[in-house]
Amino acid sequence: MKKIALLVGTRPNYMKIAPLWRAINKEPEGFSTVMIHTGQHYDREMSGVFFEDLLMPQPDVMLDVGSGSHAQQTGKAIIELEPVLIGIGPDVLVVAGDVNSTLAGALVAVKMGIPVAHVEAGLRSFDRTMPEEINRVLVDSIADILFASCRDAVENLRKEGISSEKTYFVGNVMIDSLKRILPMLRTSDILKEYQLESKKYVCVTIHRPSNVDDRSVLKEILEGLNNVSRNVPVVFPVHPRTRKKIKEMEWESDVGQFIITDPLGYIDFMQLMSNAAVVVTDSGGVQEETTYMGIPCLTIRENTERPVTVSQGTNRLIKAKAEDIVREVHGALGRVGRPVPQIELWDGVAAGRIFEILKKVL
C-alpha cells in the first residue's frame, strides 16, 4: 500500500487538492491518502464550508497554525508538521500552490527524505516583493515532482535549470473543481439574496497586501468601485484581512449600490462570479476561473504569475487608481458575451493525469 499525504492550508489549496483526493480514492487498491490541514485558514467561512461544498471528508490531521506574520506562520507550520510526517511515514507529500503552508510542508518533507510533489509548479510573476513568489521559487527548487498547469510554467522551470525529467505538463487542476461544481450552482440563492440580475453587476475580490495594507492604495480602489456602483451594482465578498483594513480606515460606502458581504462558500461564490458581467480581483485563482468561463476580469496588480490568462484568456492587468478602475470596468462591460477561450489541458481531468504520473513514479 502506497501512502500519499495531501497538504492543504488555505482556500486555494482545497480546490487544487480535492480533485486529486477524489482521483486517488477511486483506485480500488494499492493507494491510500492522508489529508493534512495546517490550519492557516481555520474558521468555517475560510475553511469548513469549502470542505462541505467540495464534498471532501474532514482532514485526517488538523493543525493549529493560525494567523501571524509570514515567518510565524511558516515556522509554526514546520514545527507542527515534522512529528505528523514522522508518524504517517508517507511515500510522497503533495503540496499545492504558493502559500506559507506549501513552503513549510516542502521543507519538512525534503529534509526527512520524503519525495515532494508540487501541484501548480512553475508559475512566476518575476516579482520578488511578493511573498508567494518566494514560496513558489523555493518549493520548485526542492521538489522531486513538478506538475505544471500551462506551457509557460514548463518553460520557466526549464530556464531555472530544473530537469525536464521531473517536470510534467498536466493542465490546470483548479478547473477540475470548477467543472465539477458548475451543475451544483443552481442550489445557490445568492443572487436572490442580494437582488442581483445575471450579467448586470460587478463582482469584486481584493485581499493582497500590496492593495490593502497601504491606506492610500485601498482608498483609491474603494473610491473607484464606489464610483462604478453609481451605474451598476458592485458586490464585494470581503476577506477578513481586507475587512480589518477597511474598518481601520473607517470607510463606508455612501453612494450607489455597493454591497459588502462576508466571505462566501465555494458554491455561493462561484454562482456570484459566474453570473457577473465583470470581475475585479487581485486573486490568482479567480484569473483562471474567469478565463475558463469567459468572464471579463480586471486584475489590480502590476504583474501576474498567470500570464496565459492575459495572452489567451479574458484577464487584463490594471492600476490601483480610481479613474483607471472606472474606465476599465466600463470598457470590460462592452466585452461581455465574447467567445470563451480554450486553453490547452484546462479540461477538467488534470487530477487523473497527476495520479497516473504519481503511480508510475511511486
Say which residues have a Cβ less than 8 Å from residue 63's Cβ, sequence separation at least 6.
36, 37, 38, 39, 77, 80, 81, 84
In contact, 123 and 288? CB cutoff 8 Å = no
Helix (H, G, I), strand (E, B) or coil at 299: strand
In contact, 43 and 13? CB cutoff 8 Å = no
State the burial class of residue 325 (Cβ atoms within 10 Å of its Cβ: 0-12, 13-18, 19+): buried
Place of cell 440580475: 197
Amino acid at residue number 157: L
Region of 14 on the Ramachandran plot (φ > 0 left; ψ -120 to 50 alpha; else beta): alpha
From the list 48, 33, 39, the residue with the least C-alpha distance to 10 is 39
C-alpha to C-alpha distance for 20 and 282, rounded to whole angstroms: 26
Amino acid at residue number 213: D
Eight-state DSSP code of residue 59: P
- The alpha-helical segments, DSSP class H, found in the chain are 11-25, 49-53, 70-88, 100-111, 131-142, 151-159, 173-181, 190-193, 209-212, 215-228, 240-249, 266-274, 284-293, 308-311, 322-333, 350-361
Virtual torsion, Cα 314, 218, 100, 42, nearest 10 deg: -100
Report the alpha-carbon angle 122-75-213, nearest 5. Answer: 70
- Decide if 207 is catalytic: yes
Name the β-bridge partners of 235: 203, 259
From the list 206, 194, 185, 354, the residue with the least C-alpha distance to 279 is 206
* Catalytic, out of 37, 118, 207, 330: 207
Name the β-bridge partners of 93: 5, 116
Residues classed as catalytic: 207
